[in-house]
Amino acid sequence: MPDFTTTFSKLVSEQMIEIGAGRPRTVSLNGHDLPVLRVADVLDGRIESAPHAHTSRQDVNGEESKVSRPGDIVLTTKGTVGRVALMPADGPVFAYSPQLCYFRPVANGPLRSRFLYYWFKSTEFWIQAEALKGQTDMADFLSLGDIQLMHICIPSVDRQDAVAGVLGALDDKIAANNRIARLVDDLLSERFASIGACAPVGRLSDVASVNVATTRPQPGGQLRYLDISAVSIGSYEMPPLMSWDEAPGRARRVVKPGDTVWSTVRPNRRSHALILDRAEGLIASTGLAVISPASGRIASVYESTRTDGFVSYLDSVAEGSAYPAVRAEKFLDAPVPHLPPESWDEFESLAFPMRERAAAAMRENRALTATRDELLPLLMSGRIRVRDAEKIMEEVV
């Protein structure tokens, strides 16, 4: 079949795709109240939601349309418009919230699910979305009616499979690296908890210092400004180089490899990361506390800041109502296990190589993500041949 351009409305009327929005009420199937998938749970290409642990596809037998199915494309349509994810084959089951739209191409139809997923990341989608999402006086919003009016150019199934194959190989490798990082987190968290379970409580100041290395603005020099917005739970985005003339006036705190950074604002969000990249000139904003380990116990100190007791303490000493914040000196009194030196060292010998492996996976993900983001618009628009894209992909995978 040659390329053709159509609308989502026509695809629906010709029964080539099912499109819908979530519902505000609870969905119960086979005696189970399903967890609700919300806008905040749909991240860049993946689903990240806490309340799904005990609900799987095997638990439900109904055919409720607004319940997630493998291969569904999910699009955020209110507030933060345009985040998209593809529901995995082996994932948990969710009910969709009203702020999400789902797209369900029919099997053996003219439109492949994974190609449609990448289409929602393409210029063709975003040109139309930008024109429609700001039509209200409130938050950005794309209605189901707006989406049905959108045009989409659908290439042959063979080309769709080829394009999705190239981009999907990159995303599969990114997902595999993310699984490595999560596995390291889980294993070390469990191990550290078992070591510290019966230990007396000490203070962070026993094993680390906070915000000890600072610098002055250096006109004409360069830095990497690590802002709180670049740090999430256990990971961070390496900021690009900028001149000191462009840097915010609050850029002062020097971050070195082996330091842990922790959010001083809204600590209950758990924004923190272990910095293992050897990037020169990394400077943190005042929204981050820089925790420098003593005695080279890099992974051990980082792990001690991930415990529930540490987080609860930060939450309890945060000041302010609108944006609760923790003063830097308060970090020094945060509770950590008071372990003998040999226990710290034993854990460090186990944990540090694992943390370095996870950090290497995240560095690789940055290169993979950059390659994918470069190839996506070229492939979706036909400006590069799949064969040429495969050669580029082979250099990074």
Instruction: Report, at the CATH architecture level, how domain 156-198+339-397 is classified.
Output: Orthogonal Bundle (1.10)
Q: What is the pLDDT at residue 50?
A: 47
- Give pTM, 2 decimals: 0.83
Q: How many CB atoms lie within 10 A of CB 392?
A: 16
Domain 4-154: top CATH class: alpha beta
Q: What is the pLDDT at residue 63?
A: 47
- CATH code assigned to 200-338: 3.90.220.20
Q: Quick one: 98 exposed, middle or buried, by C-beta within 10 A (0-12, 13-18, 19+)?
A: middle
Q: Where in the chain is the domain with CATH 1.10.287?
A: 156-198+339-397
CA-to-CA distance for 357 and 9, rounded, in angstroms? 47
Q: How do the pLDDT tens digits run along the chain, 397 residues long?
A: 678 999 999 999 999 999 999 877 777 666 678 888 888 888 877 787 644 434 444 444 444 778 899 999 999 998 889 999 999 887 788 889 989 999 999 998 999 999 999 999 999 999 999 998 877 667 788 999 999 999 999 999 999 999 999 999 999 999 999 999 999 999 999 999 999 888 999 999 999 999 988 888 888 889 999 998 899 888 898 999 999 988 887 778 999 999 999 999 876 678 899 999 988 899 998 889 999 999 889 999 999 999 999 999 999 998 887 788 899 889 999 999 999 999 999 999 999 999 999 999 999 999 999 999 999 999 999 999 999 998 888 887 7
CB 73 within 8 A of CB 102: yes
CB 273 within 8 A of CB 261: yes
CA-to-CA distance for 270 and 250, rounded, in angstroms? 22
> Residue 7: CB partners within 8 Å, gap ≥ 6?
148, 149, 150, 151, 152
Helix axes 123-132, 341-381, angle to 10 degrees: 90
Q: Which of 98, 68, 108 is nearest to 86 (CA)?
A: 68
Q: Quick one: 4 exposed, middle or buried, by C-beta within 10 A (0-12, 13-18, 19+)?
A: exposed
CB 343 within 8 A of CB 351: no
Q: Where in the chain is the domain with CATH 3.90.220.20?
A: 4-154, 200-338
